[in-house]
Amino acid sequence: MTPHRIAICPGSFDPITLGHEDIIRRSFRFADQVIVAVAFSATQVKSGMFSVEDRVQMIRETFADEPRVEAVAFQGLLVNFAQERGASMIVRGLRAVSDFEYEFQMALMNRRLWDGMETVFLAPDLDHSYLSSSLVRQIASLGGDASPFVSAAVLARLQARFGA
């Protein structure tokens, strides 16, 4: 019997974009379950556009059709959270070379903290290679059409926040 492979896809997801969704759905090529983990800290200086609870709910709505996705908030070390949840791999998307240096450093540190942790890097779909949550927030806040970049559930929340 093949072991149950659990991956964690961590991030702030403020908000979750179609690029995030693509990476998460493609993770099922090598994982049986994906935990989308919204990172936060009680002492975090930077507050997001959406509350952590709203982000978790948007992820749940975006993946309502996919029972293998679980959305949760977490704080603390990612490797500790992964061990608690039985996950042994982290999935990260790399949009550009500029993402690589930071992500590579984090992957090495996570392996140093727990040698049972592997990090898998996925290149984005070409249609999403430029996409980021901050660009989506900016487009929506300036009255632009964010519909090509987010799910219907996320778009509804952006429209409620900024009017449309």
Catalytic residue ranges = 20, 46, 95, 133
Was 88 annotated as part of a binding site? no
Length of the chain: 164
The DSSP-derived string for 72-113 is EEE-S-HHHHHHHHT--EEEEE--SHHHHHHHHHHHHHHHHH
Was 143 annotated as part of a binding site? no
Was 55 annotated as part of a binding site? no
Residue 94 to residue 54: CA distance in whole angstroms? 25
Cis peptide before 15 (omega within 30 of 0): yes
| 3-state DSSP assignment of residue 157 | helix
Was 144 annotated as part of a binding site? no
Was 151 annotated as part of a binding site? no
Percentage helix, strand, coil for the chain under 3-state DSSP, each rounded to 5: 45, 20, 40
Was 113 annotated as part of a binding site? no
Was 51 annotated as part of a binding site? no
Assigned token pair, 28: 């099922």
Was 95 annotated as part of a binding site? yes
Annotated binding site: 12-13, 20, 78, 92-95, 103, 128-134
Binding residues for ATP, by number, are 12-13, 20, 93-95, 103, 128-134
Binding site listing for substrate: 12, 78, 92
